[in-house]
Every structure is written in structure tokens, then in C-alpha cells.
Structure 1
Amino acid sequence: MRREGPLSLMTEHKEAIWTTYSPTTKPDTAVLNRLVDAGVSPRIEVSMSVVNNEILRRHFLELTTNFLAPFGPYMRATTPSEASSPFGNPPPLPPFQAGEFLSSLAARGPGKFLSKRTRSNWLDLYRRFLEGKNFMPWFQKRRRAAEQEQRRLWRQARMTADIKKLISKMSEVEIVDSFNSIEQHLLEEMQSASSSGGSAATCRKMKADLQTVFHVLPKDMQQLLLANPKRASLLYSNPDSPKLPGHPSLQGSAASEAKLLSFLPL
């Protein structure tokens, strides 16, 4: 009919839609064949509608899931490995650039599921999705959720980490870095506990870890750290911490440390 041109509409009545749009998807005959004819009985029609709705709902859910799968790596939260310290900052999520994403996707292909249900211009569907006004709000919302989940996972890892085991394998520079990281996490937890009712148990765990790391540092480094009044107040509340083999520890007893701290302004 399209080859006949618009004059064919003037000779006889025909229902048609004229468009330059080229569809990127094609009918899924496997799903269409599963749909049940409702029949003539109202009761059968209602029950068959429920069955058909469930078939279509599952189909479009699977179709949407496979379509969005290539965006997964940009929204995937990571957890610290067993060999790494959870007291550092989690790595940022991979940066997203639309051009690089489309080039990478074109090289990989649409995947087995979508290849059976899309035409050769399937990449245009992704391109239109990226250019649509709804993409960026959706993408940013999912990224924020992934970043929040990643912070939760790393916070949970810090709560279960064995700080003694971790620092026993560290160099002095790495131990100092760990001290600074734990101190920062402790301050954040204390602020959260005071403003939004954060966990007091988390604060106690961070403070105990801070004490443990402090006690394996050389004495001159300890005194340098204690020169900061705020830091001294963090350490003063719980002076007892066991020594670890393989690292120099603070000379003197807990009482001598308390005496030293008593001269520092708080």
C-alpha cells in the first residue's frame, strides 16, 4: 500500500498509518502464542485476562531488565576485598560517558535475549533512551542509591574488621594512613550519632580501633599526634589497648599516658 502512494486512499477506504518511524523491536511470537483467547463467557474472560496480564507483565519485565543490563556496571556497589583495608575510602563508581557507552555497546552487541527481539537498528533504541529527558534523572537516582549502598557495605565491613590483623601486615606509613582514616570515620560517626541518632556501638568500635592503631606507632609519632587537642580527647577516653608484635609500642603504662594527656588542653 505504501508503494501505491496516497492516491490509493482516494479510491477506496483503507485504514493505515503513514510514518517515517522505523521500529527497533519486532513481535515476540513466543509470547503472542502463549496468550489465551478470552472466549465469550464473562467468567472465562476475566480469568483469561488475569493469565494474559501475568504473561505480558513477565515479558516486559524481562525485556526491560535485559535492556537496562548494560548500565549495571555504572551502578554496582563494591565491597572491600579480604586483602584490603575497609578503613579507606571506597572507589568511585565508573564514570559514564554516553558516546563511549554506545561505542562499547555496539562492539559487544545487544546480547542473546535482545537480538531475537530487536531489529538491526537496535542501537538507535539506546541512543534515543540516552537523549530522552527521563534518562538522566533515572540514572542519577540509581547512582545515588548505589553510592549509598556502597557506603553502607564499607561501613559494615569496618564494623567486622579485625584491626589487629590488618595493621600487623602494614608498614609504618600505612599504619599512619589507617590512623587518619579511622579518626575521620570516627568523627563522622560521632556527628551522625549526635545529629541523626547514629549507632553508639559503631562509635565505640571506631574508637577502639583508633586506640589500637595509636599504640603500635612509635613514641615520637604518638606525641606528635597527641599535640592536637581534639585528637587527644578522642584517645583519652579509652587509654587501654593491647600491644601488637612486630611494631614499636608506647613506652610506659596507661597511667603514664593519662598523665601526659592531662597536660594537653582539651
Structure 2
Amino acid sequence: PMILGVTNLFFLKALRSIPHIVSVGSPPANSSRTTLASRSSAGRLPRQPERLGHQQSSLRRFSPSSLLNAVRLRREGPLCLMTEHKEAIWSTYDAVTKPDTSVLNRLIDAGTSARVEESMSVVNNEILRRHFLELTTNFLSPFGPYFKITIPAEGSSPFKESPSLPSFNAEEFLSGLAKRGPGKFLSKRMRSNWLDLYRRFLNGHNFLPWFQRKCAVAELEQNRLWRQARLRTDIQNFISEMSELEIVDSFNSIERHLLGELQLQQSGKGAPDSMTVCQKLKGDLQAVFNVLPKDMQELILMNPDKAALVRGT
């Protein structure tokens, strides 16, 4: 993308394929171009003296006449700047969202005072920030199930492996979203091409890094919750109800968690409670080992590394 700033309006004739044109400021006092029609693309009037501030504020609000002015300005195109100055925007971009007049009408005209303008800018920025935050949150909400954290159900063993996050397929996501619709909030604020916006988001450069980062955060939080559950749970409460296969799976799972904690300790990345967790897991590993079949116990003890873990050395 390139931004080209010009004062010579003949560029408008020479470069007719410019996709976006923004006209700002006021023409010089000796300019031959009149400013009688210097309404903005939203139909706003030129700044009036401060004593008319209240009247000006009401005129700057959204109204049917301002909409007609905006439509007329769009139809005339940027070449109208050749005869008179207007603060306006012309763009070939096809907007996906509809203008939210309730937000536009809440924006406050700053007036001519610099001090008032600064304070009102803070208010307007907060209004716009909340508006776009709400839009973004609702737009991203369909991705929520892919970051859903699963915690051990009450009465279930936390010593097994935690489940993986749901896998993501772009075509399945778009197909399901097309059937469900964008939701009540977005349906009122988006045009009929809302699904294309999701498709462009998925194909854009920002989606994959954002999605991977969200998945990584969700996985870390899920692992943390399962780790806490293993620390709080007494494995003796589950051993008596486990089948032989479940006992073997629990032994292998506890061994992996214990090795993971030990590796973090050795690398200096262990959590403050890592020593406590290791001692707890060693005790759990020994408890499960004691109920394993004798032949499997002998097989485990033949491996020096596994034997060291079981004996707590």
C-alpha cells in the first residue's frame, strides 16, 4: 500500500484508478475554489463560532439530510474537488458493517477550545474503543469452542492425559457458520456479505498467528488446571475402582508428568511448587506400581530409569 499526498488536484484526472481519496483541511483564503459547499461526507457543516456550539452539535448529529448529502457527494465523485473544496472520503471499499447511528450520535463535538477539544477527544475515543471492542468480541465469538478448556469432571481421575483442544478446519467452520448465521448482535450490524469477511479473515496473514497463540494460551491454562487437580487428588481413591488397563495407563501418564516436571526443574523453568508436585507424583507412581501385576513390575524394574523413578531416587 502507498499513501500519496498531493496539493495539485489535477492528479485526480491523471490517476483516476486511485481506490481511496481523502480530502481534508481548508483551501487558502485567496483560493478560487469556493467553500460554500464544504460539508463533509457525513453532511457536517463548517465550524461555527463557539457561541453556536449547542446548535452546531445538534446539526452534526446523524440525520436523513446528512445521509442524502453523503449519497450525493459519493455520486459526484472526487472530481468535484476541482471546483470547490469539501472534506470528504471516497473509497472503492465495500463496507461489511452498517453505520451505527447510535454510536455516531453519542460522539461529542469538541468546539473551538483546545482544552475542551482534548477532554472531548478522550470521551470520543472511549466511545469508539468500546464500540469496536464489542464488534470484535462478537465477531470472534464463533471461534470460542476451539479454545474451550476441559477440566476433570468431579469424581473422575485427573491422572490420565488431558484431552486435546478441538481441531480446526476452515471449510467446516465456514459451513457451520453459514448454517447458524452471525448471531443476533452482528446480524443487525453487518451486511449480507458477512460470511466473506470471515473467509477473508481466515485467508489473511493475521489469522493463523492469532489462532495459534489463543490455542497455546488455552492449552497452558488447561494443563495448569489438570496439574492442580493431580496435586489435590488422592490416587488411592481411584485405584480400587480401576481396571488393570486403566492402572497401566495411569502409571504411564503419571510417569510422563513426573518426567516433565523433572525436566523443567533441570532447565530452571520449574514452577515455585515444582518440588512439591514431584514428590506428590512420585508417591502416586509408587502407589500405582504396587498394584500392577508382578510380571509388569519386574519388567519395569529391569529399566534403570523407570526403577529410579519408582524407588524415588
Shift of residue 5 of structure 1? 8.4
Mean alpha-carbon deviation: is it higher for 220-229 or for 162-171?
A: 220-229
**Residue equivalent to 2:12:** none
Aligned to 1:172: 244
Q: Which residue of 2 aligns with 1:202?
A: 277
- Residues in 2 aligned to 1:2 and 1:35: alpha-carbon distance in whole angstroms: 22
Secondary structure at the counterpart of residue 211 of structure 1: helix
Amino acid at match of 2:289: F
- Once the two structures are superposed, residues 59-109 of structure 1 have per-residue CA deviations (whole angstroms, 9 ceiling, x without a partner) of 111111111111111122222222432222222211111111111111111
Counterpart of 1:200 in structure 2: which amino acid?
M
Letter in 2 for 1:228: N
Q: Please say if 1:30 is aligned against 2:102.
A: yes
Q: Quote the Cα distance in structure 2 between the aligned partners of 1:11 and 1:217.
A: 89
Query: Are residues 1:232 and 2:307 paired?
Result: yes
* Whole-Å separation in 2 of the counterparts to 1:193 and 1:55: 48
Alpha-carbon contact 2:98-2:190 (below 8 Å) kept:
yes
Alignment check: 8 A CA contact 2:74 2:90 kept: no
Return the alpha-carbon distance in structure 1 between the equivalents of residues 255 and 192 of structure 2.
56
Instruction: Show the counterpart of 1:222.
Output: 297
Q: Does 1:161 align with 2:233?
A: yes
Measure, in 1, the Cα distance between the counterparts of 2:160 and 2:234: 14
- Aligned residue among 182, 192, 213 for 1:110: 182
Tell me the matched-pair count.
Answer: 237
Code of the residue aligned with 2:164 in structure 1: it is P
1:218 to partner: Cα distance: 3.7
Aligned to 1:39, the other structure's residue is in SS state coil
Aligned-partner Cα distance in 2 for 1:71–1:51: 31
User: Which stretch has the larger CA shift, 95-104 or 150-159?
Assistant: 150-159
Q: 1:138 offset after TM fit, Å?
A: 1.6
Specify the alignment match of 2:196 in structure 1.
124
Does 1:76 pair with 2:148? yes
Q: What CA deviation, in whole Å up to 9, does each residue of 1:103-159 have, x standing for no partner?
A: 111111111111111111111111111121221122222222222222222222211
Unaligned 5+ residue runs, structure 2? 1-71
Identity of aligned residues (%): 65
The 1:194–1:18 alpha-carbon spacing in structure 2 relative to 1, beyond 3 Å, is closer
Shift of 1:211: 1.1
SS of residue matched to 1:101: helix
Give, in angstroms, the shift of residue 31 of structure 1: 1.1
Deviation of 1:229 after TM superposition, in Å, equals 2.2
